[in-house]
Amino acid sequence: MIVKTPSVKRPFVTIKPETRDEQMSDISDAEIIALHKQYGAILFRGFNGSTEAFKNLGDRFISSSVAKHDPSRKSVTDDHKVQTVNEGGDEFYMHPEIGREPWQPDIALFNCQIAPWRLGQTSFVDGVTIAKALSESSKELLLNNDLEFINLIEPEKLKKWLGLDNPNNDDLIAVGSKYCCHFRKDGNNYQRIFRRPSLHKPMFIDELAFGNYLLFSRFHHKREDYPMFTEGRIIPQEVCDEIQHLSQELSYKHRWKKHDTLVLDNTRFMHGRNRIATARGRKILARFGFVNFFEPTPKQLAQQPWRSANVWLESEWQ
């Protein structure tokens, strides 16, 4: 294999075959894992990138997959482990995959079967570079305030989580520490509440990073109330504008070639896409999951059941 390490303008490792017959499967797990931990973004270019080869690459490193609950995606494999990306044509703001949920995957893999013929570049950015570039006032605000995501949850889904029928708030408080999210009753509705740091440390690097659902929600969905800081405080627009500007300024816009495979540390990198002139014919595959080269503690396993599932179906838990 031929390995090209990142540069300032190209924040990812490129791996190409040394011979025409070399496959992604010929590269050792140890080599790929070491590059992933150090750099967080790897592009495989020039290999056989068939759907089967893409699935097999994911199987090597993912212990539990996440199947997104999204009507604009299609399952490509019968086990739901490989899906299409969103098949619309809108611009997408920077986000880590499923960054609004406690089951945010460790890793995100993308594969190009048919490249968009105009526009439609996938952009991605290292959240560590965003955190370093923040103004001191914004960094201090983010460091001192967690994000809070509040979602309504149906009683039957709540029962799947907690095994309780029609619990009151005392019941919910009693089981509140079972998972890394908690639940409460608000009138006739139940809520699932998840908190995460506004700036966090990624899985494999001891530095602060910005990487969550804030930009996508604020600029794509035009929502100020999701997420918010704790205690229902709205995140200032000027801070969101600063982060949005940095995410664009520091991002790399990747022009797909057929059979490209991109692997991102989803705890470190955010991704998005430019507007697509026409989505017809374009086919980008995706796979998300939890890596088998991270050893969760017994407490993490107990609080994060998605790490021990074969496939975590979002639709059963949201």
Q: What is the CATH number of domain 2-125+253-316?
A: 3.60.130.10
CA distances from 37 to 33, 60, 202 (A): 6, 15, 10
Instruction: Dihedral sign for Cα 307, 288, 130, 7, please.
Output: positive
- Which residue matches tokens 């011979």? 19
pLDDT score, position 120: 76
CA atoms of 256 and 143, how far apart (whole Å): 36
Spatial CA neighbour of 84 closest among 65, 95, 68: 68
Q: Boundaries of CATH 3.60.130.10 in the chain?
A: 2-125+253-316
Highest mean predicted confidence (pLDDT) among 2-11, 117-126, 167-176: 2-11
| Residue 179 DSSP symbol | S
pLDDT at 180 (0 to 100) = 84
The string of pLDDT tens digits covering residues 9-51 is 899 999 999 999 999 999 999 999 999 999 999 999 999 999 9
pLDDT digits (tens, 9 = 90+) for 155-209: 999 998 888 888 998 888 877 667 888 899 988 899 999 999 999 999 999 999 9
**Are the C-beta atoms of residues 9 and 252 closer than 8 Å to each other?**
yes
pLDDT for 6 beyond 70: yes
Beta bridge partners of 193: 150, 182
Cα 22 to Cα 17, 41, 96, distances in angstroms: 6, 21, 31
- Model pLDDT, residue 8: 85
Q: Shortest CA distance to 79 belongs to which of 292, 287, 293? A: 287
Q: How many Cβ atoms sit within 10 Å of the Cβ of residue 192?
A: 21
Helix axes 51-61, 29-39, angle to 10 degrees: 80
Q: What's the chain's average pLDDT?
A: 93
Cα→Cα distances 53→81, 113, 259, Å:
13, 12, 10
Query: Which pLDDT score is estimated for 280?
Result: 66
A 10 A CB-CB count for 223 gives 13
Q: How confident is the model at residue 71 (pLDDT cuts 50, 70, 90)?
A: confident
Distance from C-alpha of 257 to C-alpha of 278, rounded to nearest angstrom? 16
CA 287 – CA 188 distance, rounded (Å):
37
Q: What pLDDT, in 10s, does the model give residues 229-286?
A: 999 999 999 999 999 999 999 999 999 999 999 999 999 999 999 887 666 668 999 9
Give the per-residue pLDDT at 175: 76
Question: pLDDT at position 315, please?
Answer: 78
